[in-house]
């Protein structure tokens, strides 16, 4: 993903509107309008990626249960980027590699993840694996911009900031997705989500959407 200057997204730069009219109504209108506008381009891309991923015999799509707005659980859709036996591979790695186990406990991610397929690596670098989340946006489970969707276990790490996360729809993109995903620091992630909630407004969302569009030119996601 693109990593713009974090100072450009400080909430003090914007006129906060949460929980004003934009947060209550306008944000959903923006989500639906943009999601429907890009659907003719996104749908064929999802189909082609689904077919490519299916070549190893596993499913083309993957859904993981995440915590959404007001604590409602939903199935977050992605193009599958991991091997069909990913759970077995993870368990074996964590059991035999204390360093990897510590990294997983701290960030819920692995820099060298044996579960990720070769095509999955390419999809993650470009974030194309997240295209099916357009369906979650249309259903109202996610927003185009917001906090990264978390599991119930991860939500506990938010501490006193859980209320901020639960007041928002998780986003396909957002401050952390653009700025913080490479450092692996969960406190940083929580802080960015807090900043987004405090500075939520139309101008901020439009800037983050524009920055996300650059990812296809400079893919650096993971």
What is the tally of structural domains in the chain? 1
Residue range of the domain that includes 57: 6-81+116-215
pLDDT given for residue 220 in this prediction: 55
Q: Which residue has the tokens 């639960």?
A: 166
In a domain, 54, yes or no: yes
pLDDT given for residue 19 in this prediction: 61
In a domain, 13, yes or no: yes
pLDDT given for residue 4 in this prediction: 40
Q: DSSP secondary structure string, 43-54?
A: HHHHHHHHHHHG
- The tens digit of pLDDT for each residue in 102-160 reads 887 777 777 778 888 888 888 988 889 999 999 999 999 999 999 999 999 889 889 88
In a domain, 88, yes or no: no
pLDDT given for residue 18 in this prediction: 52
In a domain, 179, yes or no: yes
pLDDT given for residue 12 in this prediction: 38
Percent of the chain with pLDDT over 70: 86
In a domain, 222, yes or no: no
Least confident of 14-23, 85-94, 164-173, 199-208: 14-23
In a domain, 125, yes or no: yes
In a domain, 111, yes or no: no
Determine the Cα angle at 174 with ends 166 and 99, to 5°: 85
Nearest to 113 by CA among 149, 82, 69: 82
In a domain, 75, yes or no: yes
Q: Is pLDDT of 217 > 70?
A: no
- CA 132 to CA 128: how far, in whole Å? 9
Nearest to 141 by CA among 164, 168, 163: 168
Q: Is pLDDT of 2 > 70?
A: no
- CA 138 to CA 34: how far, in whole Å? 10
User: Which residue spans within 93-203 are E strands per DSSP?
Assistant: 143-145, 171-173
- CA 190 to CA 194: how far, in whole Å? 6
Both tokens of residue 18?
A: 């949460």
- The tens digit of pLDDT for each residue in 147-169 reads 999 999 889 889 889 999 999 99
Percent of the chain with pLDDT over 90: 50
68 neighbors 62 (Cβ within 8 angstroms): no
């Amino acid at each position: 993903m693109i990593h713009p200057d974090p100072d450009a997204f400080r909430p003090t730069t914007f006129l906060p509107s949460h929980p004003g009219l934009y947060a209550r109504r306008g944000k959903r209108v923006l989500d639906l309008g943009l999601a429907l506008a890009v659907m003719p381009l996104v749908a064929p891309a999802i189909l082609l990626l689904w077919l490519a991923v299916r070549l190893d015999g596993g499913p083309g799509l993957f859904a993981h249960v995440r915590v959404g707005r007001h604590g409602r659980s939903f199935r977050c859709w992605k193009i599958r980027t991991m091997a069909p036996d990913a759970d077995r591979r993870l368990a074996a790695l964590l059991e035999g590699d204390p360093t990897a186990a510590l990294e997983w406990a701290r960030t819920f991610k692995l820099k060298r993840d044996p579960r990720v397929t070769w095509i999955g690596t390419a999809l993650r670098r470009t974030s194309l694996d997240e295209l099916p989340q357009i369906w979650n946006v249309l259903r109202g489970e996610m927003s185009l911009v917001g906090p990264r969707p978390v599991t119930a276990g991860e939500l506990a790490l938010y501490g006193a900031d859980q209320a901020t996360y639960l007041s928002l729809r998780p986003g396909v993109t957002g401050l952390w997705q653009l700025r913080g995903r490479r450092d692996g620091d969960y406190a940083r992630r929580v802080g960015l989500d807090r900043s987004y909630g405090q500075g939520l407004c139309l101008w901020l969302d439009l800037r983050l959407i524009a920055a996300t569009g650059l990812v296809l030119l400079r893919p650096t996601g993971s």
